[in-house]
């Protein structure tokens, strides 16, 4: 079932504040609490709402350094891609891994305490990934803006 404008208002509100009470959410989107609850349940069931999470402060968690790592593999065979993807998924410091079109095969988003911690992550994990032909690391100097909210 497609989403209508009321569903979109619900989704926008939940992306901003996932722990909002149903009473406050229903008021914010101008619905009765029961109708709002039914819509949220449908959005969850239909997979529009995948999960609810807590967003942690990287600085307070002592991992303020973000590094984007471009990886080029030695080949494009399914076995090479599968082995790489399984191995990279086990690295706790990797927040995201994207298969890319362009010069690099994969782009990783890695968090670390500092450059020395990233060197440890590189030695312990990244340098041991299967099928890697080339790797380039780019350190973010400052996060200008960041969101987890999709345009709805």
Query: Which tens digit of pLDDT belongs to each residue from 59-110?
Result: 999 999 999 999 999 999 999 999 999 999 999 999 999 999 999 999 999 9
Q: Does residue 116 surpass a pLDDT of 90?
A: yes
Coil, helix or strand at residue 10: helix
Residue found by looking up tokens 């968690």 in the block: 61
Tokens of 16: 């901003």
The class that CATH gives domain 5-45 is mainly alpha
Q: What is the pLDDT of residues 7-37, one digit of tens each?
A: 999 999 999 999 999 999 999 999 999 999 9
Tokens of 74: 């030695």
Contacts with 89 (C-beta within 8 Å, 6 or more apart), sequence order: 97
Pairing of strands 65-73, 132-139: antiparallel
Looking at the domain 65-139, which fold is it? Answer: Alpha-Beta Plaits (3.30.70)
Q: What is the mean pLDDT of residues 49-53?
A: 96
Provide the pLDDT for residue 1: 78
Provide the pLDDT for residue 106: 98
Indicate the pTM of the whole model: 0.91
Among 76, 72, 69, which Cα is nearest to 125's?
Answer: 69
Query: 20 near 28, Cβ under 8 Å?
Result: yes
Q: What is the pLDDT of residues 134-146, one digit of tens each?
A: 999 999 999 999 9
Exposure string over 4-19, b if 16+ CB within 10 A, otherwise e: eeebebbbebbeeeee
* Radius of gyration from C-alpha coordinates of the chain: 20
Ordered by start, the domain boundaries in the chain are 5-45, 65-139
Q: What's the chain's average pLDDT?
A: 97
């Amino acid at each position: 079932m497609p989403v209508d404008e009321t569903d979109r208002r619900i989704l926008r509100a939940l992306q901003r504040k996932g722990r909002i009470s149903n009473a406050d959410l229903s008021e914010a989107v101008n619905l009765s609490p029961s109708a709002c609850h039914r819509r949220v349940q449908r959005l969850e069931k239909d997979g529009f709402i995948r999960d609810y999470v807590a967003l942690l402060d990287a600085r307070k968690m002592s991992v303020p350094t973000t590094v984007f790592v471009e990886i080029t593999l030695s080949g494009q065979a399914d076995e090479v891609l599968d082995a790489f993807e399984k191995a990279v998924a086990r690295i706790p410091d990797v927040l995201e891994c994207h298969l890319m079109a362009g010069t690099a095969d994969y782009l990783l988003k890695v968090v670390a305490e500092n450059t020395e911690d990233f060197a440890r992550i590189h030695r312990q994990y990244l340098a041991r990934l299967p099928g890697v032909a080339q790797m380039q690391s780019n350190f973010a100097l400052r996060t200008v803006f960041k969101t987890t909210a999709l345009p709805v």
